Chain A
Amino acid sequence: MQNPYVPYPVEVIKIVTEVDTKDIKTFRFAFLNKEDEEKFRYIPGQFGELSIFGKGESPIGIASSPTQKGYVEFTVQKAGVVTSALHEMEEGTRMGLRGPLGNSWPIEYLEGKNIVIVGGGFAFTTLRSLINYMIHGDNRKRFGKITVVYGARNPGLLIYKDELDVWAKRDDIDLNVTVDKGDAGWKGREGFVPTVCKEVAPSSENAVTVICGPPIMIRFTLPVFFDLGFSKENIITSLEMRMKCGIGKCGRCNVGSKYVCKDGPVFSLAELDKLTKEY
């Protein structure tokens, strides 16, 4: 029996500081045992428990796409004990990784549809995984039009800047990057995410929106999508809760009868409507 509490040994092979405030970094891990990479086969939207012996574990969404072979990436904000220890790490350090955990973005359901991705702040990580998955090689033709609205408070807080530039040059993805307030060097769009969504006005025809961001952004963005005609079944998001085991045993991340760690973290708005509002 594979013990689900034992992390796979991994090595930090690359660290990218994503933002000017330096508190958000992307960590690239390689599995020390090649066969573990195969066992850690994931789908965009799943998460892993970053496991630092002596400190603890932290559940974080997977930021890389399964189409990227040889490594797995997580973008982590420095916040508590584990993530602070992680931010202290240097390339070459060994630690642990458990997973993949949770359900995922509903890839099969998304196939053949137009996809609208809406992200705010650094909650863009599993959305980045999904975008890279959808635009990779042959995958691209399995999906319709891809529209992305991504916002941060200021240009210095945008993550994956190099990738945003690459996506911007592609003609098979409609990328709309915005900041609440620009700075001297900012030539892009200014405005809050809900407003930009209204301006971009993606059609709800055969379309699904996948949305992740701070609660305040989500609260103001949802009405925009309702007005555009998106049904609650076609608005999909991901929840966060305090977690420990990640496999529905330790009892703390439930919303009603559902455990966010194993029944989620991905839910449609229609599914969330059936749950209690305790999150």
Chain B
Amino acid sequence: MEKRLIKKDALGGIIRKIGEDGPVYAPVKVEDNVLFKLLEKGDEPLTTFANSKNAPKNIFFPRTEVMMRYTRTPKGTEFASLETESGQAVLFGVRPCDARSYVLLDMLFDQEKYKDPFWIDKRSKTTIVSMACSRPPYTTCFCTSVGGHPVSSEGADVLLVDLGDQFLAEFITEKGAKLLKYFGDVQADDGAVKKKEEIAAQAETLITSRIPAKEIKPILDVNFEHPFWNTIHQKCLACGTCTYLCPTCHCFDISDEMKYDDGRRLRNWDSCMYPMFTKETSGHNPRTSQKERWRQRAMHKFKYYVDNFNAIACVGCGRCVMYCPVNIDIRKIVEDISKL
């Protein structure tokens, strides 16, 4: 594996240089938020930031995505064109928790049978440059409890690690190695690699929020019916913020939109927190109240995904904890379940 060292103040220039040669998504400041966006002329990519407010899942799975277009003909309304083709891109500055979410979502969107071409096309053409959390940014971070690590390279093509005075760049995959030319020619020595390992060990200790996320699986297996489920949802507003900010939530709706003779079929993010999510035409709804919806969310992340893919559908980014308007804390829910 190629390893390079770069000066800290050189990184911004490197990103801009990559951006001159092709599209780059990077964290930028938008009003008061840090968000990932396609760099345009004049945008300042951030090289020191905690994490973006939204998970960067929208790069591969946009909030609204045109799937296909159609047109009205004398015979009916007929298919016109498909919208899968995207170009090569570089996604810079993804935190290890978010990079890991791509690996988790590949399990769903890229199965042996039934592949999702919209996800796979964008995913396969994008090079991911991760930025390790040498200093985990938030007290709500809990990646180590769900299988992640603040200096993990999982899901990354290139991993950048802040060593204090400079960045170590590790080129993990072949796709990542194509970016080598932008990173100068200072080879990383053993000292730098050793320093990275020290930083990784220290970063792990700085994640103090620990939850028994793996341990609750056998408890969830046998407690679909339990009075505990009556206790979570009471204050839930069903706003769906947790699912929209979540890097691993992948539920979507498919809808049609027509103007005059032309129309398009779209997929939009949807949320299991909404009553209409499962409501059938007859009026029957298998999940009648917010209790069932919350149980679904918890079960999906910590049991169903484990059953189907042997992985927890949570990366411990803590966004749902930080931004829930009524302070529902998934860490507390997991903790409480572990005591059932």
Residues of A within 8 A of B (CB): 1, 3-7, 9, 11, 52-57, 79-80, 83, 89, 92-96, 240-242, 244-245, 247-257, 262, 276, 278-279
**Nearest chain A residue, comparing its CB with the CB of B121:** A1
Q: Are B75 and A250 in contact (CB under 8 A)?
A: no
Q: Which residues of B contact A254 (CB under 8 A)?
A: 296, 300, 304
Per-residue A-contact encoding for B119-131, CB less than 8 Å = 1, 0 else: 0100000000000
Of A52, A80, A242, A278, which contacts B77 at CB under 8 A? A52
Q: Which residues of A contact B70 (CB under 8 A)?
A: 53-54
Give Cα A6–Cα B117 distance, bound, in whole angstroms: 11
Give Cα A167–Cα B255 distance, bound, in whole angstroms: 41
Q: Are A252 and B251 in contact (CB under 8 A)?
A: yes
- Chain B nearest CB: distance from A193 CB in Å? 20
Given contacts A6-B68, A247-B114, A249-B116, contact A96 B252 (CB under 8 A): no
Of A92, A96, A257, A278, which contacts B303 at CB under 8 A? A257
Q: Are A5 and B67 in contact (CB under 8 A)?
A: yes
Q: Are A6 and B82 in contact (CB under 8 A)?
A: yes
Q: Are B280 and A256 in contact (CB under 8 A)?
A: no
Of B120, B265, B280, B300, which contacts A1 at CB under 8 A? B120
Q: Are B286 and A241 in contact (CB under 8 A)?
A: yes
Q: Are A279 and B286 in contact (CB under 8 A)?
A: yes
Give Cα A92–Cα B70 distance, bound, in whole angstroms: 18
Q: Which residues of B contact A255 (CB under 8 A)?
A: 286
Query: Which B240-295 residues have C-beta < 8 A from chain A?
Result: 250-256, 258, 263, 265, 267, 270, 272, 277-282, 286-287, 292
Q: Are B250 and A249 in contact (CB under 8 A)?
A: yes
Given contacts A250-B251, A250-B253, A252-B270, contact A53 B278 (CB under 8 A): no
Give Cα A57–Cα B255 distance, bound, in whole angstroms: 9
The number of residue pairs between A and B whose CB atoms lie closer than 8 Å in the complex comes to 123
Give 12 pairs: A residue, B residue, CB < 8 Å, sorted on A. A4-B116, A54-B72, A79-B281, A96-B79, A241-B278, A250-B254, A251-B251, A252-B270, A252-B277, A256-B224, A257-B308, A262-B113
Give Cα A138–Cα B289 distance, bound, in whole angstroms: 51
Q: Are B272 and A7 in contact (CB under 8 A)?
A: no
Q: Are A94 and B76 in contact (CB under 8 A)?
A: yes
| B84 contacts A by Cβ under 8 Å | yes
| B174 contacts A by Cβ under 8 Å | no
The 5 A-B residue pairs whose C-beta atoms are closest, nearest first, are A251-B251, A94-B76, A257-B307, A53-B70, A53-B77
- Chain B nearest CB: distance from A275 CB in Å? 9
Of A9, A240, A248, which contacts B79 at CB under 8 A? A9
Q: Which residues of A contact B256 (CB under 8 A)?
A: 53-56
- Chain A nearest CB: distance from B184 CB in Å? 38
Q: Which residues of A contact B292 (CB under 8 A)?
A: 278
Given contacts A1-B120, A5-B68, A257-B304, contact A95 B281 (CB under 8 A): no
Query: Which B93-127 residues have C-beta < 8 A from chain A?
Result: 108-109, 111, 113-118, 120
Contacts A9-B79, A247-B114, A248-B108 aside, 13 further interface pairs with beta carbons under 8 A come to A4-B115, A4-B117, A5-B254, A7-B79, A54-B70, A54-B256, A83-B281, A95-B76, A242-B279, A250-B254, A250-B267, A253-B278, A257-B304
- Chain A nearest CB: distance from B307 CB in Å? 4
| B78 contacts A by Cβ under 8 Å | yes
Q: Are A54 and B258 in contact (CB under 8 A)?
A: yes
**Nearest chain A residue, comparing its CB with the CB of B116:** A249
Of A240, A241, A250, which contacts B270 at CB under 8 A? A250
Q: Which residues of B contact A250 (CB under 8 A)?
A: 251-254, 267, 270
Q: Which residues of B contact A57 (CB under 8 A)?
A: 254
Q: Which residues of A contact B254 (CB under 8 A)?
A: 5, 56-57, 244-245, 250
Q: Which residues of B contact A54 (CB under 8 A)?
A: 70, 72, 77, 256, 258, 263
Give Cα A253–Cα B279 distance, bound, in whole angstroms: 10
Per-residue A-contact encoding for B69-94, CB less than 8 Å = 1, 0 else: 01011011111001010000000000
Q: Are A9 and B78 in contact (CB under 8 A)?
A: yes
